[in-house]
Amino acid sequence: MTGRVAVLHAAQVSTMGTGSRPREQALKMSDKMTEKSATAAFLLVLAALSVYFCYIIARPFLNPVFFAVVIAIAFYPLHTRIHNVIRNPSAAALVSTLCVLLLLVVPAVLVGMAVTGELGQMYQSLSRKGVENGGMGLYVMHLLERTIAWISRYVDLSQFDLRAALLSRVQQMTAFLLETGASVARNITAFFFNAIVTFFTLFFLLREGRSMRKRLAALLPLSKEQFEKLFNGISDAIIANVYGVLAVSLAQGSLAGLAFWSLGLPAPVLWSMVTALFSLVPVIGTAAVWLPASIILFAGGHWGKGLLLLALGAGIIAQADNIVRPYVISQRVRIHTLFIFFSLLGGVQAFGIIGLFIGPIVLSVTMAVFSLLREERYLRSNTHSELNR
């Protein structure tokens, strides 16, 4: 009996031990899962803080870096050809960067020097005439005397001190021009600094573009086909927008040059190039060229030429942007011209001149993401239907 009791007791102990092992394993697994969740949460918070502080550090350089990305994508086919000839990646990237520098900077510098010379001569001429007539405001009033006399035939101007009002406006315009000139002078240093950052970044983007693309593809939770579709959508939008900018500059500059030449105005080729550059400036645009020219013609008594230039500028030169750019972009990215038009306007309003590139890119990314979501939904529905069968 004693032996039988001992055997039963041992069996009970053995059964109790066997039943407690799964509980212990479940508790250990639960503790590990809790520890992993806490680790993941900590890492996510740490990653969010790191990204935020990285953004604070990089915020002053976002515009030049973004322009470097745009230039790199637009000129990457040229870099590929150079890289096929020069096998060393660093040397090929350096040559490509220098080529882009020559293509972008040299024409801008030449035009800037020419415009500075023309503006200097114009300012000296106006200043000399202003001194001869007792001041710039009085000189402008002298030019407008005919206009005031003509208006006074049909409108009673006796109750309005038109001379004082015009002098006040001229003084305000002069102060604005002086302030703008001072602002431009202050921003020259910032411009050169941003240019250095842009081309320094461009060199590394061209040299390591493929490896960066592979690392980005590895980070994103997308298949290879999905990543290629998204990346190609962004690159197509950037390239199309660059082509659109060049097409608009060429169209508006050519139209302005033809208008100046047909009206017999001086230096039509120079002002054609200036108009092409001002086509990049949001809101003001080419009006910074043809509007002052029209005012100068009015002030000189050339009413017919002034009205014709004003009509050509507002009706044809300025409207070329709204026609050429959306058409060129829509031909490559396959998005409706109306959507492109609003993405350009909204981008400029939200981000300034850089919005000319950001707007269409955001639109292209949105369209690509919705296309990927539609494909993902289609694949899931097919998978469910096959499983139900």
**What is residue 305's predicted lDDT score, i.e. its pLDDT?**
83
285: left (phi over 0), alpha (psi -120 to 50) or beta: left
**What is residue 356's predicted lDDT score, i.e. its pLDDT?**
74
Pair of tokens at residue 124: 């000296």
CA gap 42, 334 in Å, rounded: 43
CB < 8 Å & 24+ apart, contacts of 263-266: 263/297, 263/305, 263/308, 263/309, 264/305, 265/293, 265/305, 265/309
Pair of tokens at residue 132: 């001869």
Token pair 């998005």 is found at: 335
CA gap 364, 318 in Å, rounded: 26
276: left (phi over 0), alpha (psi -120 to 50) or beta: alpha
**What is residue 124's predicted lDDT score, i.e. its pLDDT?**
61
Instruction: Enumerate the domain spans of the chain.
Output: 61-208, 224-389
pTM score over 0.75: no
pLDDT < 70 positions in the chain: 1-32, 35, 108, 110-188, 281-283, 299-301, 337, 378-389
CA gap 204, 68 in Å, rounded: 10
CA gap 105, 314 in Å, rounded: 29
**What is residue 118's predicted lDDT score, i.e. its pLDDT?**
59
Amino acid at 235: S
Residues 6+ apart with CB under 8 A from 187: none
- pLDDT tens digits for range 225-280: 888 888 887 888 788 878 888 888 888 888 888 888 888 887 777 788 888 877 87
**What is residue 126's predicted lDDT score, i.e. its pLDDT?**
56
